[in-house]
């Protein structure tokens, strides 16, 4: 099992005919992802990578029964792309776009509220269920199918966490990059909740960062649970001087005055296993075994 996507998930690609989309969708198809269609306005009726291209998401969903979308659209077009996904009642949309205007994200968050569509991202490597489905830009050869869920706020450290799981001789159920921006779609709480519901996920690796308050919300949720799966957490930014603004988007909210230790203390108090270095993850996993 997995969360959000698996081998039976039918996926469409918004912006399929672009250069980056072509490259990554070809890799996802080779990986076994069930990509069934593309959407590019003005190019409906054509074929690309052997896939039918439609002029709208609703038309693509009607013809293919797709339930998820990977969006290779520029940041300036994301609001429209998400609106199309919501109107077509897709279960999931994934956006890797970086630099989405904050005003647009506020409108996107308002649109998502009350809809059935979940958004991963923006500014994310996406989501991958090993050997089943890849929506985004994850490198393929580092992943192994297994029982460890991964959720991360740091794109690069997501890959490091996966390699640490591999060092422990284990694999992943699903790996999700939440995105690095101030406003994102699904957050730690949403993903932790789904991993707790997934019978195949036995433990979870959570990667946080200095900025924002998503980790504190995760700690509060986890602390409130009666039946908890083990969560191994790492917070990036330990060496940053207190009060220093890292330049992360989330620093606009926290203003650099929530320290890594504050976050670690909250996670420890909630019952999570907190490691001081990312290369301690494999040791923590070994201890669980």
102, 77 in Cβ contact below 8 A? no
Ordered strands of the 145-152 beta sheet: 133-136, 126-129, 172-177, 145-152, 203-209, 231-236, 273-274
What's residue 1's pLDDT?
A: 74
252, 262 in Cβ contact below 8 A? no
What's residue 211's pLDDT?
A: 74
Do 1-123 and 142-289 show the same overall fold? yes
Domain boundaries, the chain: 1-123, 142-289
What's residue 253's pLDDT?
A: 47
What's residue 256's pLDDT?
A: 52
Tokens describing residue 50 = 């052997």
DSSP string, 190-244: HHHHHHHH-TT--EEEEEEESSSSHHHHHHHHHHH-SS---EEEEEE-TTSPTT-
What's residue 257's pLDDT?
A: 57
Considering the segment(s) 142-289 as one domain, its CATH architecture is 3-Layer(aba) Sandwich (3.40)
The reported pTM is 0.93
- Cα–Cα distance for residue pair 261/19, rounded to 1 Å: 42
Which helix or strand (DSSP H or E) is residue 71 part of?
Answer: strand 68-71
In the numeric block, the tokens 């019952």 are attached to 271
Provide the 10 A C-beta neighbour count for residue 99: 11
What's residue 252's pLDDT?
A: 46
Tens of pLDDT along the chain (289 residues) come to: 799 999 999 999 999 999 999 999 999 999 999 999 999 999 999 999 999 999 999 999 999 999 999 999 999 999 999 999 999 999 999 999 999 999 999 999 999 999 999 999 999 999 999 999 999 999 999 999 999 999 999 989 999 999 999 999 999 999 999 999 999 999 999 999 999 999 999 999 999 998 789 999 999 999 999 999 999 999 997 655 454 444 454 444 455 557 899 999 999 999 999 999 999 999 999 999 8
Provide the 10 A C-beta neighbour count for residue 206: 27
- Cα–Cα distance for residue pair 234/157, rounded to 1 Å: 10
Tokens describing residue 238 = 């330990």
CATH number of 1-123: 3.40.50.720
């Amino acid at each position: 099992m997995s969360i959000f996507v698996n081998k039976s998930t039918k996926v469409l690609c918004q912006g399929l005919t672009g250069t980056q989309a072509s490259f990554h969708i070809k890799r996802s198809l080779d990986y076994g992802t069930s990509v069934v269609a593309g959407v590019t306005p003005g190019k409906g009726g054509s074929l690309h990578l052997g896939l039918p291209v439609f002029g709208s998401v609703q038309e693509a969903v009607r013809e293919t029964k797709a339930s998820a979308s990977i969006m290779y659209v520029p940041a300036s077009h994301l609001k429209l792309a998400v609106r199309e996904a919501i109107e077509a009642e897709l279960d999931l949309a994934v956006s890797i776009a970086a630099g989405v205007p904050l005003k647009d994200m506020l409108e996107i968050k308002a649109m998502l509220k009350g809809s059935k569509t979940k958004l991963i991202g923006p500014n994310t490597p996406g989501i991958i269920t090993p050997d089943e489905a890849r929506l985004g830009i994850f490198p393929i050869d580092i992943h192994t199918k297994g029982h460890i869920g991964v959720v991360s706020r740091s794109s690069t450290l997501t890959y490091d966490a996966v390699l640490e799981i591999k060092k422990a001789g284990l694999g992943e159920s699903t790996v999700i990059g939440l995105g690095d921006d101030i406003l994102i779609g699904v957050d730690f709480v949403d993903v932790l909740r789904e991993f707790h519901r997934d019978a195949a996920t036995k433990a979870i690796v959570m990667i946080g960062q200095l900025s924002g308050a998503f980790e504190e919300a995760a700690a509060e949720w986890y602390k409130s649970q009666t039946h908890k799966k083990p969560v191994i957490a790492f917070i990036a930014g330990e060496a940053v001087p207190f009060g220093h603004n890292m330049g992360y988007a989330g620093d606009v909210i926290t203003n650099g005055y929530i320290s890594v230790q504050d976050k670690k203390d909250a996670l420890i108090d909630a019952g999570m296993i907190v490691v001081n270095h990312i290369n301690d993850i494999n040791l923590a996993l070994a201890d669980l075994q």
